[in-house]
Amino acid sequence: MAKTSISWTDRTWNPTTGCSVVSPGCHQCYAHKILTGRAHRFDTLRQAGGLSGFPAPAESPYDLFATGHAGTAISTAAGLAWADQVAGRDTRIVAVVGDGSIVNGLSLEGINNTALTKRQFLIVLNDNSMSIDRSQGAMAGLLDRIRSSHTYADIKHTTENLLQHLPLGEEITDALRHIRDGLRTTLHGGQFFESLGLAYFGPIDGHNIHAMIHVLSRLAAAKQPVMLHVHTE
């Protein structure tokens, strides 16, 4: 489900303890709402006087921006990252974007700018093969090729590789480079993102709770922009 990657991102990159999570609108932000103090009101979702179906700053300080389906998560998070860099802050930044939104020009603009930052920045690509309408264009075709070239066994194998080789602490930056190079032959679809300056990992199984917590915890120490491709179909 789409909510899976949001929930485990929030668990390991806690927005209540110095981490900025920029989530997309509608169903992909529901788990974020539950995990940031609104579970007791969740039965009022989309009702008059109840919780909004979208991120709503007036509703919670953990909804940083009012967003919808326009693919704004990466660009918005990139703005936060640049502001932190200028101010000398070290807030961890994570943007969660769906496969239906990453084809948006605004998402590509965000990736273009994000890759120029020399700091931690995580993009979680929540790939559930779902969108309001069928995605079109070259980016949609790229994601289709990545999916078709990775069977369930491939995704499981990639997940296990990441679990076995991602270390703790300061070694993470070098490890990202070595793992990226070592898995390049199996992650050929991700070379598009790597050519834009992102370290690309995945696709991994977003329903594997242990794997998600482990990988996200390790990537928290990265000092460069990273894209984690999570399969949640």
* Model confidence pLDDT, tens digit, residues 55-113: 889 998 888 888 776 678 888 888 888 888 888 888 888 888 887 778 778 888 888 88
Which residue ranges make up each domain of the chain? 3-231
Inter-CA distances, 173 with 10, 69, 222, Å: 22, 33, 5
Tell me the CB-side half-sphere exposure of residue 173, using CA atoms within 13 A.
Answer: 8
Q: What is the full per-residue pLDDT of the chain (233 aa) written as tens digits? A: 344 444 445 555 666 555 677 766 666 678 888 888 899 999 999 999 999 988 889 998 888 888 776 678 888 888 888 888 888 888 888 888 887 778 778 888 888 888 777 788 899 988 876 554 455 555 655 665 655 555 545 555 665 665 565 555 455 555 555 555 554 444 455 677 787 888 888 788 888 888 888 888 888 778 889 989 888 87
CATH of domain 3-231: 3.40.50.970
Maximum C-alpha span of the chain: 53
* Secondary structure, 3-state, the chain: CCHHHHHHHHHHCCCCCCEEEECCCHHHHHHHHHHHHHHHHHHHCCCCCCCCCCCCCCCCCCCCCCCCCCCCHHHHHHHHHHHHHHHCCCCEEEEEEECCCCCCHHHHHHHHHHCCCCCCEEEEEEECCCCCCCCCCHHHHHHHHHHHCCCHHHHHHHHHHHHHHCCCHHHHHHHHHHHHHHCCCCCHHHHHHHHCCCEEEEEEECCCHHHHHHHHHHHCCCCCEEEEEEECC
What is the per-residue pLDDT for 90?
81
pTM: predicted TM-score of the whole model, two decimal places: 0.72
